[in-house]
C-alpha cells in the first residue's frame, strides 16, 4: 500500500493490483473493502495476535523449523504493544509503522485513531 501510494496510485488501484497478483489471498479479499474504506474497526486485538504468533514461534522452535515471516510479523505486533496499541489490530500496526517511519502510510488526514 505504502509503496503504491508513494508512486501515485490510489488505494483502490493498489488493492486491485495486489488481488490479481501473488499477494492474492483469502485474508486480502476479506479485508480489501475495509482497507479501501479505511474501516479499521477492531475485530481481533493486536495483543491476542501477538500471543498466538508467539505460540506459533514456539511450535516452530520445537519442530526445529524456521518461521521467517511469522517471526517478523510477530515482532511487528509486538511493536504495537510497546506503543500502547494492544487493543487495536491492523490500524495499530499501520499507525505504528507511520510512527517509526515518520511518514503517513495511507490513513487519511481526517481519520483519527481512538483507543
- Grid cell 515518520 is found at 102
2, 106 Cβ separation under 8 angstroms? yes
Average pLDDT, whole number, for the chain?
A: 77
Do 30 and 65 lie in one domain? The reply is: no
Do 21 and 71 lie in one domain? The reply is: no
Do 32 and 45 lie in one domain? The reply is: no
88, 113 Cβ separation under 8 angstroms? yes
pLDDT band at 59 (very low <50, low <70, confident <90, very high): very high
Mean pLDDT of 27-31: 72
Taking 80 as the threshold, does the pLDDT of residue 5 lie above it? Answer: no
Mean pLDDT of 103-114: 50
85, 92 Cβ separation under 8 angstroms? yes
pLDDT band at 104 (very low <50, low <70, confident <90, very high): low
Do 61 and 94 lie in one domain? The reply is: yes
Tell me, what DSSP letter sits at residue 93?
A: H
For residue 2, what is its C-alpha cell?
505504502
- Grid cell 493498489 is found at 14
Mean pLDDT of 4-28: 76
Do 46 and 33 lie in one domain? The reply is: no
Do 69 and 52 lie in one domain? The reply is: yes
Do 70 and 101 lie in one domain? The reply is: yes
Do 25 and 4 lie in one domain? The reply is: yes
Residues spanned by the domain of 112: 41-115
To the nearest 10°, report the CA torsion of 12, 16, 22, 26: 90
Do 30 and 64 lie in one domain? The reply is: no
Tell me how many domains the chain contains.
Answer: 2
pTM, full prediction: 0.58
Amino acid at each position: 500500500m505504502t509503496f503504491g501510494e508513494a508512486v501515485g496510485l490510489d488505494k483502490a488501484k493498489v488493492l486491485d493490483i495486489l488481488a490479481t497478483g501473488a499477494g492474492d489471498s483469502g485474508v486480502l479479499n476479506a479485508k480489501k473493502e475495509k482497507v479501501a474504506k479505511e474501516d479499521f474497526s477492531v475485530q481481533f486485538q493486536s495483543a491476542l495476535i501477538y500471543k498466538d504468533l508467539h505460540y506459533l514461534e514456539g511450535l516452530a522452535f520445537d519442530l526445529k523449523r524456521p518461521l521467517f515471516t511469522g517471526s517478523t510479523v510477530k515482532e511487528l505486533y509486538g511493536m504495537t504493544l510497546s506503543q500502547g496499541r494492544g487493543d487495536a489490530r491492523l490500524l495499530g500496526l499501520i499507525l505504528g509503522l507511520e510512527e517509526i517511519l515518520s511518514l503517513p502510510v495511507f490513513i487519511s488526514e481526517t481519520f483519527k485513531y481512538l483507543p
